[in-house]
Amino acid sequence: MEEAEAISDEIVIINHGKIIESGTVEEIKKRTEIESLEKHF
């Protein structure tokens, strides 16, 4: 996940075939109130 945060403009997180989050890293962090995508997802 760290690599995705560093090199991606936008990301999509899929769980069991369903999109559970999408957007820029900063948008997702703000929406979910987390510091690290890797620790949360």
Chain segment 1-41, per-residue pLDDT in tens: 778 778 889 999 999 999 999 999 999 999 999 888 887 77
CA–CA gap between residue 6 and residue 4 (Å, rounded): 5
User: Is pTM, for the whole model, over 0.85?
Assistant: no
Using CB atoms within 10 Å of the CB of residue 41, give its burial: 0 to 12 exposed, 13 to 18 middle, 19+ buried: middle
What is the per-residue pLDDT for 19?
A: 97
CA distances from 7 to 16, 18, 21, 22, 31 (A): 24, 23, 18, 15, 20
> Is 16 in a helix, a strand, or coil?
coil
What is the per-residue pLDDT for 35?
A: 85
